[in-house]
Amino acid sequence: MTAEKSTDNLPRILVVDDELAIRRFLHTVLSSGEFILHEADNGHAGLASATAFRPDVILLDLGLPDLDGIEVIKRIREWSPVPIIVLSVREHENDKVSALDAGADDYLTKPFGVGELLARIRAALRRSLLEISEPVFISNDLQVDLGSRRVTVNGFDISLTPTEYDILRFLVIHAGKVLTHGQILKQVWGMTNLEQPHVLRVNISNLRRKIEVDPSRPRHIITEPGVGYRLKT
């Protein structure tokens, strides 16, 4: 009875992957009693499970035999904001960007470690549970107060240009999540400046100079090469 009750409250994870070996590995890693696991071995089965099983997080492989992974993301996003973590191979950076732009929340490059996987899952769960994030973001020496528009490093006030602040604010709202160049550009500059990603780079570079101790080894704003940026939580 108690066991039943406790399982009800456990986060539900849907794994969509056609590789039996990967599913078996994920099953081993994730069935330790912390999560409830459901598996689907193709895109259509995955979509069906997403409605029937109502998962809290979806782990989605992009290379499915029947449906394109991006297509799966788009269809899910039509009706659900459930966090989707994409599992992809290293060769296809562009796929990651497409997946993120289509609405995926995060990605993991195969092969990945268990620790990293669990961390990503937990971060995604946390974000979905606290949809309205705290007005104050704190990570090590960096503190951003969205309510009063105040940014401090080690307690010292930092003055940012309006654009820099907009970028930082967007990163803070989605802290821990990878934001693609396109997503940031669209959010901060609107549709018009999508063609000029270098403007974003210059601003990120300036932002780092102001909030990072050593801009050559950033601790807060992490570049995901070829994909975008992530604010470390």
Partner 1 sequence: MTNSDDIRPTPEAMLKLAQAEEVTAELGKLKIFLGYAAGVGKTYAMLEAARQRKKDGRDVVVGYVESHGRSETDALLDGMETLQRKEVLYLGVALPEMDLDAILNRKPQIVLVDELAHSNAPGSRHEKRWQDVEEILETGIDVYTTVNIQHFESLNDVVAQITGIIVRETVPDRLLDLAFEIKLIDISPEDLIQRLNEGKIYIPDQAAKAIEKFFRPGNLMALRELSLRRTAARVDDQMRAYMETQSIAGPWPTAERLLVCVSGSPYSEKLIRATFRLAEELKAQWFTVYIETPAGGRHVQENRERVWQNLRLAEGLGAQVGTITATDVTDAVLEYAGRHNITKIVMGKPNKPRWREVLSPPVVDRIIRRSGAVDVVIVSFEQDTSAEAHPSPKRRRPFELRGYAASLALIAAATVLCELLRPFLAPTNMVMFYLLAVVIASVRLGRKPAIASAFLGVLAFDFFFVPPRMTFVVADTQYLLTFLGLFVVGVVISTLVARARERAEVMRAREVQTASLYYLSRDLAASANSDAVLKAVLRNVEEALNAQVVIMLPEGERLDIMATSDGLILDIKEQAVADWAFRNSHPAGRATDTLVSADLIYLPLQTPASVLGVMGVKLASQHDYHSQETRRLLDAFATQAAMAMERIRFSHQAEQAQILQARENLERALLNSISHDLRTPLVSVTGVLYSLKEEEAHLSAQARRDLLDSACSEAERLNRFVGNLLDMTRIEAGAIRLNAELCDVQDLLGCAMAATEQRIGNRSVEIKLSGDLPLVSMDLVLMTQVLVNLLDNAHKYAPVESTIEVSATLDNSTLSLEVSDRGPGVPEHDLKRVFDKFYRIPIPEGTGGTGLGLSICKGIVEAHGGTISAENRSGGGLKIVILLPVVKTRELGYDG
User: Which of 28, 51, 140, 223 contacts partner 1 by CB under 8 A?
Assistant: 223
Query: Rule CB under 8 A: is residue 210 a binding residue for partner 1?
Result: no
DSSP structure class, residue 63: B
Q: Is 217 in the site for partner 1 (CB under 8 A)?
A: yes
Residue 94, H or E segment: helix 93-102
Q: How far apart are CA 100 and CA 177, in angstroms?
A: 10
- Report the nearest approach of partner 1 to the CB of residue 92 (Å): 11
Question: Is residue 135 close enough to count as binding partner 1 by CB under 8 A?
Answer: no
Helix orientation angle between 69-77 and 93-102, rounded to the nearest 10 degrees = 10
Q: Which of 9, 90, 147, 148 binds partner 1 (CB under 8 A)?
A: 90
Residues in 39-78 at the binding interface with partner 1, rule: CB under 8 A: none
Cβ nearer to partner 1, comparing 59 with 160: 160
CB of 202 to partner 1, least distance (A): 5
Bridge partners (DSSP) listed for residue 180: 228
| Residues 144-203 close enough to bind partner 1 by CB under 8 A | 161-163, 189, 193, 196-199, 201-203
Q: Is the dihedral of CA 211, 215, 218, 221 positive or negative?
A: positive
Taking the least distance from each CB to partner 1, the nearer of 48 and 222 is 222
Closest listed residue to residue 84, CA positions, set 110, 45, 50: 50
Binding region for partner 1 (CB under 8 A) out of 15-23, 53-61, 145-153, 208-216: 208-216
Measured from the CB atom, is 28 or 193 closer to partner 1?
193
Q: CB-based contacts of 195: which residues, under 8 Å, 6+ apart?
A: none
Kindly identify the residues of this chain, within the stretch 96-115, that bind partner 1 according to CB under 8 A.
111
Name the minimum Å distance from CB 232 to partner 1: 10
Name the CA dihedral angle for 219, 221, 223, 228, rounded to a multiple of 10 degrees.
160
Give the span between the Cα atoms of 28 and 35, in whole angstroms.
11
